[in-house]
Structure 1
Amino acid sequence: MTDEDRLLAGRYRLTRQLGRGGMGTVWLAEDTLLGRRVAVKKLHVAPHQDDEERTRLYERTRREARSAARISHPGVIVVHDVVEEEGRPCIVMEYVPSRSLGDVVREDGPLAPGDVARSGRAMASALRAAHAAGVLHRDVKPANVLLSEDGERTVLTDFGIAAASGTTTLTRTGEFVGSINYAAPERMQGGESSPASDVWGLGATLYEAVEGVAPFRRSSWVETAYATASEPPRPMERAGVLGELIEGLLAKDVAERLTLEQAEEWLAGAAGTVALPSQAPWREPVRAAAAAAHRPAAAAAPSG
């Protein structure tokens, strides 16, 4: 029997492949118990991987499910179940008829600024909910953003390398996890992930959504890393209303980078507009608050 029509855990019947990535394949499946469609993520395990690598991969998959399950938000994929298949964990998730933002940009071209603003606002809200639950996504990129077919939802998915508070790392010394085109400069330089790193990923994702290409992509890993750390993003030609916001999200200094709260406020004001007003009421308060939001608590004036 091929994977198609395979029954997992005596309950989930695989029907067709939805997508394939580096770590796994996502299938559309029927939940035969509840009579509903679900998405099932099955791991890829290479023959050359040793037992330690496989154990780490399996635990990363279980952690992905736990991380997503901690977050209750319409902009985060819902995890229903984790089942074992041939000793490997498989994640059972809600099925959202959709295309990834990456596929939309590649197949249809860049989105209009107003559309990007609406999706970006949902992404910022979803990331805020994740951070409030103690979860860092660490791989925010167009491929991990789903745009529903009905246009009603923007959903953040694939928490495969998420980091939850109170857990140990699953990476080896010197190993970089994530997608180089959307990774923050502090991560390139060996620093720890933080909420600000997800903010950078949001900025790089919005940039690609509206411009059609990642802001620092070069022909090699080394050149991309250097550009991310040392060069400004390519000048934006289509961003319009979103240009200054994206620049704020892609500030190389974490202390100068906008926060998700500020991004969400900005995007709420930008959604549906055609051009940036010269005196947008939501613009200056957002920009003026950026440094204060990142200021260490110890620097604040004592109360009373």
Structure 2
Amino acid sequence: MWLNEMQALAAVQPHPHIVGMYDAWFDTDTRGDAEQAYIKLELCGESLGDVVKRRVPLREPEVLEILRQMASALRRIHEVGMVHLDVKPDNIYTAAGPAAPSRDREHAVVAAQAAGLSGAIYKLGDFGLAAMPGGQRAGTSEGDAKYLAPEAFKSHNFLSSGFADRLDIFALGASAYELLRGSELPKNGPSYHDIRGGKIFLPSASAQLVLLLKKMMAPDPSQRPTAEQLLRSPLLRPPQPSGSLQPSTSLPLPMSQ
């Protein structure tokens, strides 16, 4: 799984909303003859799982910003033919601090757009369960059951269904649902199955956001949007400040080692 994470992370670098990987190597384990894996990663702050544990629901604008940034990360992951398979609040981190100082105006605009109106930057990490192109992966786990789409229970061949990327979309929708609830999703029982049947109850959220989450968590994976379609949703389009530059989307955020 360590080697799987090294390869998966390397394949999607660099991206402003994916935890940065700076180095990876194997060295002799001092406790025996085996080798120990090391990965040098970007330092991040707390995870959104810590936010859930505090049982304080996030406001709708914050959750929309998280959805936008994570959809951007998933678009990159899916573009290279990979599926993350472990999208959840525990694996979404806040950036440890403000973006690195920009040397020119274009870099400053890219950093500001990546952070959104709230100024917060979120990073998706933990690629240990990621399925590489062709459906190859190190382990047999499908990820955390609380965020697992219903098709993963119905067939062992869900990764070759043609809709494997929609597993990540379901998990992202379930994560957003949990953050808006301010409490953990059920692990089993009738409520667990109700969620996978499309029953979502969020009286404090707008009808537009509830509809978006229902699409992301649709029981039929073919009815869920792709990451690219999510980013084109009017709800996730960040307002453009007047007079701002429109930089190339391929320009990464500056990250220092």
Give the TM-score of the pair, scaled to structure 2: 0.71
Q: Distance in 2 between matches of 1:258 and 1:167?
A: 20
Q: Distance in 1 between matches of 2:68 and 2:180?
A: 14
1:156: which partner in 2?
A: 124
2:16: which partner in 1?
A: 74
The question of 1:261 aligning with 2:222 is answered no
The question of 1:244 aligning with 2:211 is answered yes
What's the CA shift for 1:268?
2.4
Instruction: Give the 5 Å matches for 1:1-304.
Output: 60-71=1-12, 72-85=14-27, 86=29, 87-96=35-44, 98-107=45-54, 109-150=56-97, 151-166=119-134, 168-171=136-139, 175-190=140-155, 191-193=157-159, 194-215=164-185, 217-218=186-187, 220=188, 226-227=193-194, 229=196, 231-240=197-206, 241-266=208-233, 267-269=235-237
What's the CA shift for 1:270?
7.4
Count of aligned positions: 205
Higher strand share: 1
Q: Which has the higher contact order (CA 8 A, sep 6+)?
A: 2
What's the CA shift for 1:255?
1.8
Identity %: 30
**Which amino acid in 2 is paired with 1:197?**
L
Change (3 A) 1:112 1:271: farther
Q: Is this contact kept in 2: 1:128–1:260, CA < 8 A?
A: yes
**Which amino acid in 1 is paired with 2:201?**
P
**Which amino acid in 1 is paired with 2:21?**
V
Rg larger in 1 or in 2? 1
Name structure 1 gaps, 5 residues minimum.
Answer: 1-59, 273-304
Q: Distance in 1 between matches of 2:8 and 2:46?
A: 23
Q: Distance in 1 between matches of 2:236 and 2:144?
A: 28
Q: Is this contact kept in 1: 2:6–2:24, CA < 8 A?
A: yes
Name structure 2 gaps, 5 residues minimum.
Answer: 30-34, 98-118, 241-257
Q: Distance in 2 between matches of 1:260 and 1:243?
A: 17
Q: Distance in 2 between matches of 1:88 and 1:235?
A: 46
